[in-house]
Structures are given as C-alpha cells and as structure tokens.
Amino acid sequence: MEENNSSVLNIDKQSDTQLNQTVPIGLDRFAMFNMFVKDAIDKISSGVSEEDYVNLFGKLSALRKSKSAPGKMQKRMKTNLMSSLVAEVEAMAEEEQLQEKLQKLDKLVEDSTLEEGKEAWRPNGNVNDHLRSYAMAVKLKRKSSLEECLREREQATETLRQQVGRFRGQVRSMKMKLQNLHDQSLDNSVINSVDAMIKDKEKKFK
C-alpha cells in the first residue's frame, strides 16, 4: 500500500519532467498535454490495486461470497475516476483557452529558436548581481541616449553659431555701406556750399 501511495505522489514530478522535455516533431504541446494528463490520471487511478481492494473490502460479509467483487469494484472505480477526471481537465482546458495559449507558446518557441552553437542568456542565480547587471545595462542605454542627445545639441549649436557669424558679417557690411553713403552725402554738401560761395563772390566782382 505504501509503495502504491509513493508511486502516486511521484506522478506530478514525472509529469513535470515529461512536459519540460522537447516536444516531438509533428506533435503540438496541447496534444502532448492531453497525453501526459491521461497518463497521470491512469497512474493515479491505478494507485489502489485489486489486492488492496481485497484487503480493504474482502472481510465485509456482503463481499465474502463473491471473490471477484473487489476486482470489479477496482476496475469500475478506475474507469469512473478516469472518465470524470479527463472530463474535468477538458472543461478546464476549454475554459482557460489552453489550446490557443499553447499554440502561441509553440509559435514563440519556434521564433526564438537559437542558432546552432549559440548559447542563450541565463541569470547567474545571484539576485544582487542580476539586478546590478540589469541596472548597468539600463544605465549604459541611458548614457548612450544622452550622448546622442548631446551630439544633436552640439550640432545644432554649431549651426546656430555659423548662422550668427554670417549675420554679423552682413551687419558689418551694411554698416560700412551706410557709412560710405553718409560720407558721400557730407562731401556733396560741402562741395555744393563751396560752389555757392564761389558763385556769390563772382557775382560781387562783376
């Protein structure tokens, strides 16, 4: 009896091991799930053997006359338990949309298949080191983003500096032109004044 109970308790571990194994080619995870569930239920229902039934119920007066009764009870119990548990699991799978979820998992596994010889990243098992590694990756990414932003700002500043330089040159040129025009205006005014004085003197001498 203890041996049978021990085998029943180990079913979960065996099922977990099977489910974590590679899914055979051509068989999806939902089909594998159904196979493992039915296999586990069969092992559970077989946890109480016919001999255990005889030991448990064989001394009852109603069963003394029928030696085959315990065996029939054991088979019926196994059949009923198998049917009810399978139906319960199927209802649960339908309610939780397990088939669709496992199909999505198949797709993710297929898309994330590594190239041959390439090792997948795994946490090192030390929480502090893992967090430190993650934080460092975030900081490096942030640093790269800030450096890119700085380069853009420096480029914009250099473009603005060049524009300001051109505008200053244009302003200086305009100032020089205005100054020249002003000087020419003053020269014309003096010349006109001298000419007027000369003409006035000429009139007096006449």
- For the chain, the domains span 29-111, 156-205
Residue 180 has pLDDT above 50, yes or no: yes
- 29 versus 154: the higher-pLDDT residue is 154
pTM over 0.75: no
**Residue 96: closest CA among 36, 25, 33:** 33
Averaged pLDDT of the chain: 72
- Residues contacting residue 24 through CB under 8 Å, at least 6 positions apart: 32
Residue 192's pLDDT band (boundaries 50, 70, 90)?
low
- The pLDDT tens digits for 56-72 are 665 665 655 666 776 77
- Residues contacting residue 98 through CB under 8 Å, at least 6 positions apart: 30, 33, 92
If DSSP codes are grouped into helix, strand and coil, which group holds residue 66? coil
Span 18-46, mean pLDDT?
69
- Residues contacting residue 19 through CB under 8 Å, at least 6 positions apart: 32, 33, 36
Residue 75's pLDDT band (boundaries 50, 70, 90)?
confident
Residue 3's pLDDT band (boundaries 50, 70, 90)?
very low
Residue 42 has pLDDT above 70, yes or no: yes
